[in-house]
Every structure is written in C-alpha cells, then in structure tokens.
Amino acid sequence: MQAARAIIHLENLRRNILAARNKIGPHPKICFPVKADAYGHGVVPVSRCALEAGVEYLAVATLSEGMELRAAGINAPIMLLSQTLPEDLPDIASHEFIIFVSDDEYIEEAAKTAGKKLTVHLKVDTGMGRLGCRPEDAAKLARKIASSPVLSLGGMATHLSVADSPAPDHIAYTKGQLRRFHEAVDSVKEAGIDPGIVHAANSGALVFHEDSYLDMIRPGIFLYGYLPQGAPAGLSAEPLMEFRSKVVLVKKLKAGESASYGNIWTADEDTFIGVIPGGYADGIRRGLSNNHSVLIRGKACPLVGRICMDQFMVNLGPETEVRRWDEAVIFGPGFITAGGIAEKLATIPYEITCGINKRVPRVYVG
C-alpha cells in the first residue's frame, strides 16, 4: 500500500444524507452532485453508497463522467450539469442522461441530433449570470421543447449564487432569484405545459432557505461534510475525507541546518525531522509550507520548509517518541478538516478535496 492515502468515511455520507432528509422532509427528492470524481472522493463507491442511502438522482458535469457511472452498472437518473456538445447528444440519449437546455439554438440541435427520446431540464438564469435563459423567455422555450417529438421537458432549474451567505443583502438577493424563478415556472404552467421537477436549492439554500426546497434539492458540499459559515446550531455535516501518510524517515538536524528547498526554515536548536510522503503533486498545497501541522501519535507536529512535489518534512522536536512508519494525519475528521485547510489558504473545501490527486489511493471504510 502507498504511504499517502485518502480514507473515505462512507458512514459520514449516510449521516449527512439523513441530516439533509430530516431538514427538508419526505417530499423533495435529493440530487447528489458527484462531478469531479465526487469532489475527489471517488465517484463510483460514493455514488453507490448515496443511492443505497436514499438519494434519487446523481449529477455530473460531463458525458465521460456519466459514462463512468453507467459502465459501473449504475442505472439511476443522471443529470449532466454543464453545457453538452452537439456531437455527444446521440450517446447522451442512448444512455438516458438528462441535460440542461437554455436557448433556441441548442433546443433545435438536441431535437435534430439526439436520435431518440431525450429528457431535458430548462435552465433559468435568475441572477447567476452563467447558463440559463432569461425568466421571461421560459414559456417560449418550454413550448418549443413540448412541440418536439424527441424532447421531453422533465424539469426546470435555476442556480443560486449567494445562497451560502447569511448576509442580509445576500439573503435578499437569493429571495429575488427565487421570486424570478417562480415567475418563470408559473409562466410555463400558464402556457399549459407541465414544468416537471422544479429545483433550485444547493447546499447553501438547504441551510438558509427553506422556501427553496421545491421538488428537489442539489446539495453538493453539504453531503461531503462541510457547512457554510453561520449555519444554525443543531445542523451538522461530517467530512468524508481523511488524508493520511506515514513517517518514512526520522533524522536529526543540528541547530542552523535547513530543511527542504529555498532554506525558508532553519532549525534554531538540535531537533528531529520526520520525512513524510505526500506533496503538491498529491494535493498538499505549497501554501501550507511552514503553515500547517500534522497529527502523529496524538501530537501536532509543525510542517517545516517548502512542500516538495512528493514529500514534506515535520519538526518532531529535540526529543521524540515518533518512529519510522508511524501514521501521520494531514487532515480529517477529529483533527483539522479540509475546511480548516481551506481557511489557511483563503479558498474553499471543494478545491482541497478535488485537488487530491488520482495517484493517491482512496480507501473506503464504514
């Protein structure tokens, strides 16, 4: 086994799904985004666990991600969240993926190219400024979909851009997005067309906007175990990913000697150094150089010197009980999580978990 490995706690995924279900009640469906290899957690094992725990839909970004799930024998409904290419439409239709459409040209292309029945969801841009039609165009586009013998309108969706923030101006912005979305859905209904499954809520909306649950929610980062700042007490999510490695060498440095590239750390006394496999090629960001500690034998040991491509060093102190092959926890439940790492680097936990390289084996427990 490789020293550096990501341990995925599937029992925490089940707990997070149950927490989401308890929050939203029995009616709304849950669509679980598993794009980007399930945010770095491993798409097939995580998807199987989520479906067994009661998730109804999966969502990916690309055709290749969806094909990986189908090849693994997963037959659940799968949505492709990003704009698909016209040449992919026959494969999309034959594997029964659901796509999003938001303009006349692509609706016509899908009807012409798919080759067989294709379920689409109409995406409405209510303030994200990304994919989606204007709310006032929704009824016209829904009529175009409904008039096609190939296309079936399976739902309507929007994406909420600041729903993860409890700031008053962001709360008001999200309410405005939801209002515009309801107007678009109502216009489709008034045109005599069934809008299908209506969905808007992401993880932030799950936490802060109960009026956004509608027919389905799409909580991504919440199910992977991370809450937005300001989340109400009583709502919990437990991180799935733990990143571990092993101490492969313990050696002594004398006062005044340096560790790693650039001599950015120098020992101020005689001390022991532990060498640990895992570097920026594995997803341990260089910004953690001299800016993080790992847990060895229950003690936080500071990371010293620059993180290398494949390994890093920690200061074990002038006296140490650490021995070669001891476990080293880089982040994980019960220690600092990927969310804590993200705070150190002024980023988000998505970027940390997605950044754990494929060469790091995933080990599934629970």
216 and 248 share a domain? no
Question: What are the catalytic residues?
Answer: 35, 261
pLDDT bin (cut points 50, 70, 90) of residue 1 is confident
Number of residues that make up the chain: 366
pLDDT in tens, 3-20: 999 999 999 999 999 999
Show the domain range for 314.
241-365
Residue 127: which of 102, 156, 150, 161 has the closest Cα?
161
Alpha carbon distance 306, 158 (integer Å): 43
Reported as a single tens digit per residue, the pLDDT across 254-297 is: 999 999 999 999 999 999 999 999 999 999 999 999 999 999 99
Give pLDDT tens digits for 329-339. 999 988 999 99
Final residue in a domain of this structure, among 198, 224, 250: 224
Give a yes or no: residue 96 inside a domain.
yes
Residue 255 belongs to domain with CATH number: 2.40.37.10
Q: Are residues 261 and 336 in the same domain?
A: yes
Count of domains in the chain? 2
Last residue of a domain, one of 189, 224, 259: 224
Q: Is residue 236 part of a domain?
A: no
Please provide the DSSP assignment of 239-307 as one string: --EEEEEE--EEEEE-TT-B-SGGG--B-SS-EEEEEEE--TTTT--GGGTTS-EEEETTEEEEEES--
CA 153 to CA 182: how far, in whole Å? 17
Residue 350 lies in a domain: yes
- 24 shares a domain with 172: yes
Q: For residue 139, what is the domain's CATH number?
A: 3.20.20.10
The CA distance from 76 to 78, in Å, is: 6
**Residue (of 58, 56, 59, 53) closest to 14 by Cα position:** 53
Q: For residues 228 and 164, give the distance between their C-alpha atoms in angstroms, rounded to a whole number.
A: 6
The per-residue pLDDT for range 156-186, each reduced to its tens digit, is 999 999 999 999 999 999 999 999 999 999 9
What is the rounded distance in angstroms from the CA atom of residue 182 to the CA atom of residue 39? 30
Q: In the predicted model, what is the mean pLDDT of residues 112-134?
A: 96
Q: Is the domain of 194 the same as that of 68? A: yes
Evaluate whether residue 167 is within a structural domain. Answer: yes
Between CA 46 and CA 51 the distance in angstroms is: 9
Closest by CA position to 244, among listed 328, 187, 127, 314: 328
Q: Are 189 and 181 in contact (CB under 8 A)?
A: no
Q: Give the number of other Cβ atoms within 10 Å of residue 39's Cβ.
A: 27
Residue 233 in any domain: the answer is no
When pLDDT is cut at 50, 70 and 90, the band that residue 115 belongs to is: confident
Sign of CA dihedral 97, 219, 288, 297: negative
